Structure 1
């Protein structure tokens, strides 16, 4: 199966339902936004079983599409920057440029309807590279585009993929405009508006568009020391990247709790050490298992990097509704050989406390991602479908390493294979 089986049916461009007064001004980017201009779009989407709707009890894709478009137009009233494009103010004399969002540039959010001859169970259960390549086609921006390309490409594309028995809604969103917290905030608001039939409502969590920077910064004067993207943008072509296998492993709430208890038992003799969290214990297991699967040199230094939401860590703290990027990277470091002499609890102590947060959009079956920002050893965590503290972990590894991971006894004692329902 390949991308030729994806059939594009229609394409629209959506703008906010009503005029937004704030959109008349440039939407400046913070330093944390600007550093992501060379990264890929944030490609995430949700998979749903095909519902039965309507008074006749029959499914109508046309009704679904119209409902999604109407509710999206209302959602964009609150998230209006996503309907614009990036623009430059160039100062040739000083060889510098200011990048910002121009709401009035471009046609709006791209909305695509496509079909593909696969089932929900194929997406959920298959580790086959063939199926994985089809899932990647559920997203726009698969040709090596980076966030800087938002000068000519939409900042958001909604691709509604109709499966045999399901619907996948993929939303590649420009990562220089939003981080993961803002990405899922958008999904949550869209869901809220869609569930009430796409009528204007007072949403429970309005995005905060006022950009936050330290006092020493002036947003309107954050010029980059470049005037051409080739001076600082490095392209990542999908065809030049190494072959990776991606697999989603499920950790039930019972197994997560058992793993946490094991980690804390291992360090129980250390009276002044704080209690290890579920996420710390889980990431410790994943880190140890990936090291074994990759067969790394015992003398090699290995790193575990975690993206950390800085909203609560800022002084004063930012609200969760802050729209934009507020991220930093926490790094744990150890030598490969040390893992052979210590348990899960030891590795967990190398991690800072980190809370992974994801708000749902209706009742999705699963979350999936695209080509963007993938590399060997990348791990992405999502709340599990049944809730209750369960977790789904997406892992990217070379094929040989993935095969070794699937045979790792310690890892598979806690992990479940992909669901096929």
Structure 2
């Protein structure tokens, strides 16, 4: 075991600067929030370079500004300072909600130091260094622990020539869209691009369902398997797709699609235009399946997190704060069948599952079904059938979150919710449609993926 390289030096709680009397003290959880109870939080962080010559003089003012601005922003995202509460219901069952009142203990703010690690050490490692997991607070927690742990905890880790800003946010509270909206708001307050006055009307960011959903349990402990929060022996690596390589991949994918014979007024339907993200997803699914060297009859599947905001009627605003996502999945198919398809045919399969949730009616049926038969996510469920699952989005405004420190040098994930086959998508730092894919695999599969010729044909930086 390698020597410890990250040392915690302080911890405090940040309270909202103000709490309007009219603000709710209780926020109900939706059918998109409650399934997150047994799994881990969102853990995302940003890497900033600051010259080692000036970092000692600048660090304390940076910390002070992050704290004061976080207090301001928490006034507009009050549930981030709350806690989970579960109450028993007369006649059986439970209600779980977010309590947000004067008795809150606020958001967590941690400081740490890693004075032997440089920005280059983090960026130039072949695989994501294991010490990066220590850049995040509350490793190994699950969302259920939001009953006594902060729903938001921030850690600033001092490096030789920079800082890492790591955030752990309870996934019951929000999804990736909400998380990066919060981060962009916080960044803009720090940078002086956004100002809130104490009497300014709060934007309608926080969701609040009209009626609570009753869970048919005596207590939530029956849902919890702490072994799922342990970090498996996996390697995660960032693979970069440049704008040019994505354009080349997308062109090949769309040229390989076979038009499906569907009679409509005696005319064949046109093949769908496959997006850049689904083109990359098809490449990754085929490449990981090939690298796993599975028997041809063994089943494989692909899961994709799908943002429902724009699919609702009326559409929910992009600033809706909460979970508003669903996991869409292919029907499990034999690995031999998948690898017999070309990239275009594989991408068409993925296009089909995304298109299947294109309207409000289907989504509301999911909601109604959950109310009558609640189900919960599990990491083992994500990995089932040799699953490859993609989360996050290259559309998130990651590199716009500068916090007055200039453009981040990188974005990284923590150890929460990782499994063999998980893919986390981010925009590339240079923009213009580039993408970074963080892929988590067993060491054996990763080694084969790194030698996969079809995959390498579209990777420009490893």
TM-score after normalising by structure 1: 0.90
User: Aligned equivalents of 1:397 and 1:3: distance in 2?
Assistant: 24
SS in 1 for 2:309: coil
Corresponding residue number in structure 2 for 1:125:
124
Corresponding residue number in structure 1 for 2:380:
none
Compare 14-23 and 196-205 and name the one that shifted more. 196-205
Per-residue Cα deviation, 1:216-257 (whole angstroms, up to 9, x for no partner): xx524x222223222222223555x54111111001010000
Q: Is 2:63 the partner of 1:25?
A: no
User: Aligned equivalents of 1:375 and 1:265: distance in 2?
Assistant: 33
Q: Is 2:171 the partner of 1:175?
A: yes
Going from structure 1 to structure 2, the CA distance change for 1:58 and 1:173 (only over 3 Å counts) comes to: closer
Q: 1:304 aligns with which of 294, 297, 302?
A: 302
Q: Is 2:247 the partner of 1:257?
A: yes
Corresponding residue number in structure 1 for 2:211:
219
Corresponding residue number in structure 1 for 2:428:
384
Q: 2:93 aligns with which of 77, 91, 96?
A: 96
Going from structure 1 to structure 2, the CA distance change for 1:57 and 1:172 (only over 3 Å counts) comes to: closer
Corresponding residue number in structure 2 for 1:339:
338
Corresponding residue number in structure 1 for 2:451:
407
Going from structure 1 to structure 2, the CA distance change for 1:152 and 1:85 (only over 3 Å counts) comes to: same
User: Aligned equivalents of 2:276 and 2:202: distance in 1?
Assistant: 28
User: Aligned equivalents of 1:57 and 1:140: distance in 2?
Assistant: 22
TM-score after normalising by structure 2: 0.82
Going from structure 1 to structure 2, the CA distance change for 1:302 and 1:62 (only over 3 Å counts) comes to: same
Query: 5+ residue gaps in structure 1?
Result: 213-217
Q: CA shift at 1:60, angstroms?
A: 1.1
Q: Is 2:231 the partner of 1:231?
A: no
Going from structure 1 to structure 2, the CA distance change for 1:317 and 1:160 (only over 3 Å counts) comes to: same
Compare 327-336 and 256-265 and name the one that shifted more. 327-336
Q: CA shift at 1:197, angstroms?
A: 7.9
Q: Do the aligned residues in 2 keep the contact of 1:43 with 1:173 (CA within 8 Å)?
A: yes
User: Aligned equivalents of 2:112 and 2:314: distance in 1?
Assistant: 45
Q: CA shift at 1:325, angstroms?
A: 0.7
Q: CA shift at 1:356, angstroms?
A: 4.3
User: Aligned equivalents of 1:399 and 1:182: distance in 2?
Assistant: 33
Corresponding residue number in structure 1 for 2:150:
154
Q: 1:66 aligns with which of 61, 64, 67?
A: 64
Q: CA shift at 1:304, angstroms?
A: 0.5
User: Aligned equivalents of 2:326 and 2:70: distance in 1?
Assistant: 30
Corresponding residue number in structure 1 for 2:9:
9
Going from structure 1 to structure 2, the CA distance change for 1:67 and 1:52 (only over 3 Å counts) comes to: farther
Q: Do the aligned residues in 1 keep the contact of 2:158 with 2:164 (CA within 8 Å)?
A: yes
Q: How big is the alpha-carbon RMSD for the aligned residues of Structure 1 and Structure 2?
A: 2.5
Per-residue Cα deviation, 1:174-228 (whole angstroms, up to 9, x for no partner): 000101110111001001111108853699994522325xxxxx524x2222232
Query: 5+ residue gaps in structure 2?
Result: 261-268, 356-392
Q: 2:132 aligns with which of 125, 135, 147?
A: 135
SS in 2 for 1:339: helix
User: Aligned equivalents of 2:86 and 2:259: distance in 1?
Assistant: 58
